[in-house]
A = this chain, B = another copy of it.
Amino acid sequence: MTPVPAEAVKNTKGAAARNKKIQVPGFLASAVSAQVKKGHTRPDLGLIFSEVPAVTSGVFTRNLVKAAPVQIDLGRIVERKGRAVLVNSGNANACTGAAGLRDARKLSLKVSQTLSIPDSQVFLASTGVIGQRLPLPRMMKAVPALAHSLSPDGLPAVAQAIMTTDTFPKLVSEEISVGRKKVRIVGMAKGAGMLHPDMATMLCFVLTDLAVSPALLDRFLRKATDQSFNRITVDGDTSTNDLILVMANGLAGNPVLDQPRTNGARLFSSALDQVLFELARMCVRDGEGATKDITLQVQGARNEEEARILALTVAHSPLVKTALFGQDANWGRILAALGRSGVSFDPERVDIYFDRVQIVKNGISKGPKEEVRAGAVLKKRSLTIRIDLHQGSAETRIYTCDLSLDYVRINADYRT
């Protein structure tokens, strides 16, 4: 097993848990190098296998252009039943037409035959360059090796195999008690360019041994997604390959959760929220070239939708993002972004804070002293920009990062 740096494993129960094995009963995993990118020898093909059929729920890209694996998964998710996930980095298998779909189907069939499971219970995910065919022979050849090396300890290796421009693997592990049974939840993700995260692939897999009804799992996944990955992206704006899959194999032996208002359901929902939230935050922290980890909090809006539009307009403004990179407390750009958002508000009532330093009061500078103090806040790696509109009581938070020279370098050179 490839070693995983300790900082990549987050467990809300504290540091002691970091030494725990990242396992979920009934789930096996493995990763190998299939040289998806020719000549690259790092693991780029991963397999997750559930020893029993798992209730499976998914959230998929809303991009009109859907990669071949997403097209296949969308047909299969309606059954809410899964046994395996085959995932590769290095090639998105997107915009590859009918040939790309055939490639994906062949891979799925190979997994199904190798593991003796129904083809319809194999899910596929890909991330990487768009528009190129998969190196099918190399990948087909790798499937038996993957199956052969499946192990309860294999999940961290998969988290590494799905990395593209990520600088560290993203793994979160949780444990809760439901009906006196211990329930494990492990999530992994790969992040993406954070300027418009919608355009770069985000993959997330969550595995649990909870027993839960398909309807309830669906409901909880959607709620958790809305509070995590949807806070770091634009409504409806997603890449060709984005997906989140949750598999619950029931081996914990708890009474099947099927009512939302029970203690067990609340506990699981909250844990799933936490796992997705932690993974989403890790993706922001690992945003391409990011040097700043920004929480954008909009308060005092008339309603949550307006708060969200305002926060996203600021979060996506290249002028705001480059100023943050330059550690310049350029609040004028923030105010200008708010003003062009399309949301109506009174500019002369806006307050802006950098952490606890109020830099703008009633739409104008609080003074040179505060600008200096805000400049000091900007030297930090993580900070919160709080905007209070004083128009109502709605608020929202969006998580984002700055726009750095490295973002441009990474994305200008991505294919070379």
Contacting pair A129 B332 (CB below 8 A):
yes
Measured in the bound complex, the distance between the Cα atoms of B236 and A319 in whole Å is 17
Contacting pair A409 B405 (CB below 8 A):
yes
Contacting pair A336 B240 (CB below 8 A):
yes
- Tell me which residues from 313 to 346 in chain A have a Cβ below 8 Å from any Cβ of chain B: 317-319, 322-323, 325-326, 328, 330-333, 335-340, 342, 344-345
Contacting pair A340 B199 (CB below 8 A):
yes
Asked if A412 lies at the interface with its beta carbon under 8 angstroms from chain B, I say yes
**Residue A319 contacts which of B132, B200, B362, B363 (CB distance < 8 angstroms)?**
B200
- Tell me which residues from 173 to 223 in chain A have a Cβ below 8 Å from any Cβ of chain B: 193, 195-196, 198-200
- Given A64-B345, A65-B339, A332-B92, the answer on whether A319 and B199 have CB atoms closer than 8 Å is yes
Contacting pair A323 B64 (CB below 8 A):
no
Nearest neighbor of A402 in chain B, beta-carbon distance: B412
Asked if A79 lies at the interface with its beta carbon under 8 angstroms from chain B, I say no
Asked if A116 lies at the interface with its beta carbon under 8 angstroms from chain B, I say no
Contacting pair B333 A199 (CB below 8 A):
yes
Measured in the bound complex, the distance between the Cα atoms of B408 and A99 in whole Å is 40
CB neighbours (8 Å) of A362 from chain B are 97
CB neighbours (8 Å) of A416 from chain B are 326, 328
- Given A405-B408, A412-B325, the answer on whether A97 and B364 have CB atoms closer than 8 Å is yes
Measured in the bound complex, the distance between the Cα atoms of B365 and A132 in whole Å is 8
CB neighbours (8 Å) of A63 from chain B are 336, 339-340
Nearest neighbor of A92 in chain B, beta-carbon distance: B332
Contacting pair B331 A131 (CB below 8 A):
yes
- Tell me which residues from 119 to 167 in chain A have a Cβ below 8 Å from any Cβ of chain B: 129-132
Asked if A348 lies at the interface with its beta carbon under 8 angstroms from chain B, I say yes
Contacting pair A363 B331 (CB below 8 A):
no
CB neighbours (8 Å) of A365 from chain B are 95, 131-132
Measured in the bound complex, the distance between the Cα atoms of B326 and A348 in whole Å is 42
Nearest neighbor of A64 in chain B, beta-carbon distance: B339
User: A interface, how many residues as a size bin?
Assistant: 35 or more
Q: From DSSP, what is the main secondary structure of chain A's interface residues? A: loop
Contacting pair B196 A240 (CB below 8 A):
no
Asked if A258 lies at the interface with its beta carbon under 8 angstroms from chain B, I say no
Oligomer copy total: 2
Measured in the bound complex, the distance between the Cα atoms of B62 and A52 in whole Å is 59
CB neighbours (8 Å) of A337 from chain B are 199
Asked if A387 lies at the interface with its beta carbon under 8 angstroms from chain B, I say no
Measured in the bound complex, the distance between the Cα atoms of B89 and A45 in whole Å is 56
Contacting pair A236 B333 (CB below 8 A):
no
- Given A323-B414, A340-B199, the answer on whether A363 and B97 have CB atoms closer than 8 Å is yes
CB neighbours (8 Å) of A328 from chain B are 412-416
Asked if A407 lies at the interface with its beta carbon under 8 angstroms from chain B, I say yes
Contacting pair B414 A330 (CB below 8 A):
yes
- Tell me which residues from 341 to 385 in chain A have a Cβ below 8 Å from any Cβ of chain B: 342, 344-345, 347-348, 360, 362-365
Measured in the bound complex, the distance between the Cα atoms of B240 and A403 in whole Å is 22
Q: How far is the CB of A378 from the nearest CB of chain B, in Å?
A: 11
* 16 A-B pairs (CB sep. < 8 Å): A64-B347, A65-B347, A65-B363, A66-B339, A97-B364, A130-B336, A199-B318, A199-B336, A236-B340, A236-B342, A238-B340, A240-B332, A319-B411, A322-B411, A325-B412, A328-B415
